[in-house]
Structure 1
Amino acid sequence: MGDTPLDIGRFLRSTHPYDLLDPKKLSPIEKNFEHLTLGSGVTVFSSGDVCEFIYLIEEGTVEISDSHGALVSILQPRNHFGERGALRDGIAVTTAKTSSQASLLRIPRAFFLKMLSEHETLARYFRRGQPRQNQLGGLTTLPVSELTKRTPITCASDTSIASAARLMRDQKISCLGIEDNGVLVGILTIRDLTNRVLAEGRDPSGPVSEVMTPKPVTLPPASLGSDVLHAMVEKNISHLPIVEGTKLVGIVTQSDLTRHQAASQSQIVADLGASETVEELAHSTKRLPELLVQLVGAHLAHDVVTRKITDVADIVTRRLVKLAEAEFGPAPVPFCWAACGSQGRREQTGVSDQDNCLIIDDSATADDMVYFQKLAKFVSDGLNACGYVYCPGDMMATAKRWQQPLSVWLGYFRKWIATPDPEAQMLASVMFDLRPIAGDSTLFDRLQSEGLAAAAKNSIFVSHMIGNSLTHTPPLSLLRGFATIKSGEHRNQLDLKMNGVVPVVDIGRIYALKGKLAAVNTRARLDAAVETGLLSSSGGRDLIAAYDTIATVRLEHQANQIRRGEKPDNFLSPSSLPAFERSHLRDAFVVVRSLQSTLGASVVR
Structure 2
Amino acid sequence: MPLPPPLIQFLASVHPYDTLSSADLEALADLCEAKSYAVGETVFALGDKVTDLIIINEGEIEITDEVDVQLSILGPRNSFGERALLRGELASRTATVTAQATLILMPAATLFALIEKQPAVSKFFDRRRPAGRQKKDLTTLSVGQLMTHDPVTCTPDTTIRDAAAMMHEAQISSICITDVEGFKGIVTVRDMTGRVVARGADISGPVSEVMTTECLTLGPKALVTDVLHLMVERGIGHIPVVEGTDILGIVTQTDLTRAQAMSSADLVRRVARSKDAGTMARATAEIPQLLVQLVDTGNRHEVITRLITDIADTATRRLLTLAEAQLGSAPVPYLWLACGSQGRQEQAGVSDQDNCLILSDAVTDADLPYFEALAKYVCDGLDACGYFHCPGEMMASNPRWRQPLKVWRGYFEGWIKKPNPEAQMLASVMFDLRPIGGDESLWAKLHEDTLKAASANSIFTAHMIANALKHQPPLGLLRGLATIRSGEHRNHLDLKHNGVVPVVDLGRIYTLQGQLHPANTRARIEAAIMAGFLSRSGGADLLDAYDLIATTRLEHQASQIKAGEKPGNHLDPSSLSDFERSHLRDAFVVVKTMQSAVGSGKGALG
In the superposition, the TM-score normalised over structure 1's length comes to 0.70
Q: How does 1:288-437 map to 2 (within 5 A)?
A: 288-437=287-436
Q: Deviations over 1:199-240 (max 9, x none)?
A: 467789799599736363x55534444443343234322123
The residue aligned with 2:593 is 594
Is 1:170 aligned to 2:166, yes or no?
A: yes
CA distance in structure 2 between the partners assigned to 1:599 and 1:592 by the alignment: 11
Q: Deviations over 1:430-473 (max 9, x none)?
A: 11100000001122222222222222333332222212111110
Counterpart amino acid of 1:269?
V
CA distance in structure 2 between the partners assigned to 1:396 and 1:559 by the alignment: 28
CA distance in structure 2 between the partners assigned to 1:280 and 1:184 by the alignment: 39
Q: State the shift of 1:529 in Å.
A: 1.6
Q: State the shift of 1:166 in Å.
A: 4.9
CA distance in structure 2 between the partners assigned to 1:165 and 1:284 by the alignment: 34
Is 1:468 aligned to 2:467, yes or no?
A: yes
Q: How does 1:81-96 map to 2 (within 5 A)?
A: none
Q: Deviations over 1:310-336 (max 9, x none)?
A: 111111111111111111111122111
- 8 Å CA contact retained: 1:495, 1:570: yes
The residue aligned with 1:212 is 212
SS where residue 404 of structure 1 aligns?
A: strand
Q: Which runs of 5+ in 1 are unaligned?
A: 1-128
CA distance in structure 2 between the partners assigned to 1:419 and 1:543 by the alignment: 31
Counterpart amino acid of 2:384?
A
Q: How many residues align?
A: 471
Q: Deviations over 1:84-141 (max 9, x none)?
A: xxxxxxxxxxxxxxxxxxxxxxxxxxxxxxxxxxxxxxxxxxxxx9977x8385x545
The residue aligned with 1:565 is 564
- 8 Å CA contact retained: 2:375, 2:397: yes
CA distance in structure 1 between the partners assigned to 2:131 and 2:366 by the alignment: 50
The residue aligned with 2:509 is 510
SS where residue 491 of structure 1 aligns?
A: coil
- 8 Å CA contact retained: 1:303, 1:347: yes
Q: State the shift of 1:420 in Å.
A: 2.4
The residue aligned with 1:491 is 490
CA, structure 1 residues 486+170, in 2 after alignment: closer, same or farther (shift >3 Å)?
same
CA, structure 1 residues 374+163, in 2 after alignment: closer, same or farther (shift >3 Å)?
closer
The residue aligned with 1:450 is 449
Q: State the shift of 1:144 in Å.
A: 2.3
Counterpart amino acid of 1:320?
L
SS where residue 251 of structure 1 aligns?
A: strand
Counterpart amino acid of 1:568?
P
Counterpart amino acid of 2:312?
A
Q: State the shift of 1:504 in Å.
A: 0.3
CA, structure 1 residues 180+491, in 2 after alignment: closer, same or farther (shift >3 Å)?
closer
Deviates more, 1:254-263 or 1:475-484: 254-263
- 8 Å CA contact retained: 2:196, 2:210: no
The residue aligned with 1:69 is none
The residue aligned with 2:542 is 543
Q: State the shift of 1:476 in Å.
A: 0.8
Q: Deviations over 1:250-299 (max 9, x none)?
A: 32111323444676433322221221222222232222233323333333
CA, structure 1 residues 597+203, in 2 after alignment: closer, same or farther (shift >3 Å)?
same
- 8 Å CA contact retained: 1:559, 1:568: yes
Q: Deviations over 1:123-162 (max 9, x none)?
A: xxxxxx9977x8385x545442232122356789xx57x7
- 8 Å CA contact retained: 2:324, 2:374: yes
Higher relative contact order (CA 8 A, sep 6+): 2
CA distance in structure 2 between the partners assigned to 1:472 and 1:567 by the alignment: 24
CA distance in structure 2 between the partners assigned to 1:233 and 1:604 by the alignment: 59
Counterpart amino acid of 2:298?
H
SS where residue 214 of structure 1 aligns?
A: coil
CA distance in structure 1 between the partners assigned to 2:578 and 2:541 by the alignment: 21
CA, structure 1 residues 337+206, in 2 after alignment: closer, same or farther (shift >3 Å)?
closer
CA distance in structure 1 between the partners assigned to 2:132 and 2:500 by the alignment: 24
Counterpart amino acid of 2:356?
C
CA distance in structure 2 between the partners assigned to 1:283 and 1:248 by the alignment: 30
CA, structure 1 residues 152+421, in 2 after alignment: closer, same or farther (shift >3 Å)?
closer
Counterpart amino acid of 2:597?
T
SS where residue 544 of structure 1 aligns?
A: helix
The residue aligned with 1:522 is 521
Q: RMSD over aligned Cα, in angstroms?
A: 3.3
CA distance in structure 1 between the partners assigned to 2:503 and 2:341 by the alignment: 13
Q: Deviations over 1:466-495 (max 9, x none)?
A: 121111101111044332223333333222
CA, structure 1 residues 230+406, in 2 after alignment: closer, same or farther (shift >3 Å)?
farther
Counterpart amino acid of 2:391?
P
CA, structure 1 residues 594+375, in 2 after alignment: closer, same or farther (shift >3 Å)?
same
CA distance in structure 2 between the partners assigned to 1:153 and 1:391 by the alignment: 37
| Greater gyration radius | 2
SS where residue 591 of structure 1 aligns?
A: helix
CA distance in structure 2 between the partners assigned to 1:600 and 1:379 by the alignment: 40
- 8 Å CA contact retained: 1:141, 1:225: yes
- 8 Å CA contact retained: 1:466, 1:603: no
CA, structure 1 residues 578+322, in 2 after alignment: closer, same or farther (shift >3 Å)?
same
Q: How does 1:94-173 map to 2 (within 5 A)?
A: 135=135, 137=137, 139-140=138-139, 142-151=141-150, 166-167=162-163, 169-170=165-166, 172=170
Q: State the shift of 1:180 in Å.
A: 11
The residue aligned with 1:282 is 281
SS where residue 411 of structure 2 aligns?
A: helix
CA, structure 1 residues 208+379, in 2 after alignment: closer, same or farther (shift >3 Å)?
closer
- 8 Å CA contact retained: 1:261, 1:267: no
CA, structure 1 residues 269+130, in 2 after alignment: closer, same or farther (shift >3 Å)?
farther
CA, structure 1 residues 222+347, in 2 after alignment: closer, same or farther (shift >3 Å)?
same
In the superposition, the TM-score normalised over structure 2's length comes to 0.69
CA distance in structure 2 between the partners assigned to 1:298 and 1:354 by the alignment: 28
SS where residue 390 of structure 1 aligns?
A: coil
Is 1:580 aligned to 2:579, yes or no?
A: yes
Q: Which runs of 5+ in 2 are unaligned?
A: 1-129
- 8 Å CA contact retained: 1:359, 1:403: yes
